[in-house]
Amino acid sequence: MKRTLSLLYGILAYGLFAVTFVYTTCFIANIAVPKTIDGGEQSPLLVAASIDAALLALFAAQHSIMARRGFKRVWTQIVPKHLERPTYVLAATLALILLLWQWRPMPDIVWELTGPVAMVLTITYWMGWCLLLTSTFLINHFELFGVQQVWGYFRGEQHARPKFRMPFLYRLVRHPLYLGFVIAFWSAPQMSLGRLVFAIACTSYILLGIYFEERDLMVEHGDAYKNYRERVPMLVPFTKISAVVVAQSQSEAGD
């Protein structure tokens, strides 16, 4: 019974995440859903900005605290290890649902582009989400979202510690998943003040999150990740190569 309930818990947490993820892509794009980033109940600008900032801070805090190694050590003394990841996914999803529900639009237009440029940005918006999803499957989508852990527990299997790997996109940048987020956030043919605040806040959090995540990865994988970090750029492809070429050119010029 415990194994069955654990499996159902993990599947339900993943299902709620999947529905919320799809809703979020439409929410940001201002399409197909009843409330969007620029639509819904409006408040005075200062009130809206304060509420949105609080929602973004809560979302960031939940992610940052629950993802840290120290928190996990304590948390897994309360929650079984196979339920740690599904619980994290559930908490993150609930924080996101709260943000979507209580978000206050700030619809003043910062920029509005038309014609081919607008079409290109619309395409890159959806490409960003596709890059994000592809990146999760390249590493292990169902382990990332806790399904593999509860499935293994249901079958009586011991969950193996994940190994350090560098599948396709991860050889171009260290964080293609986060790159997908950044592309989607900034691919806006029509950028409202609210969406700009959302994009700036989320991009800033991603950069901060990468710092803490890589610190944990250095501890977990040691020299393997250190060498990987030295060779592969963080978010912008080929910049490490460019830096080496520039350095070599400057050295040759000096000689």
Distance CA 184, CA 182 (A): 5
For residue 249, is it left (φ>0), alpha (ψ between -120 and 50) or beta?
Answer: alpha
**Helix 81-102 vs helix 2-29: angle between axes, to the nearest 10 degrees?**
30
* Residue-wise pLDDT tens digits, 140-180: 999 999 999 999 999 998 777 777 788 889 999 999 999 99
Distance CA 231, CA 234 (A): 10
91 Cβ neighbours under 8 A, 6+ residues apart:
62, 66
Backbone angles phi, psi at 157, to 5 degrees: -95, 150
Q: State the pLDDT at residue 242.
A: 44
- Rg over alpha carbons for the chain, rounded to the nearest Å, is 20
66 Cβ neighbours under 8 A, 6+ residues apart:
72, 75, 88, 91, 92
Q: State the pLDDT at residue 250.
A: 39
Helix (H, G, I), strand (E, B) or coil at 3: helix
Q: Is 152 in contact with 82 (CB distance < 8 Å)?
A: yes
User: What is the DSSP code (8-state) at residue 35?
Assistant: S
Give residue 36's identity as a one-letter amino acid code.
T
Sign of CA dihedral 223, 160, 165, 66: negative
pTM: predicted TM-score of the whole model, two decimal places:
0.88
* Residue-wise pLDDT tens digits, 79-106: 999 999 999 999 999 999 999 999 999 9
Q: Is 102 in contact with 37 (CB distance < 8 Å)?
A: no
| Residue 104 to residues 27, 94, 205, Cα–Cα distance (Å) | 12, 18, 20
Please give the full DSSP string across 67-133, using - where no structure is assigned. Answer: HSHHHHHHHTTTS-HHHHHHHHHHHHHHHHHHHHHH------EEEE--HHHHHHHHHHHHHHHHHHH
Q: Is 173 in contact with 234 (CB distance < 8 Å)?
A: yes
With a cut of 50, which residues of the chain have pLDDT below it?
242-255
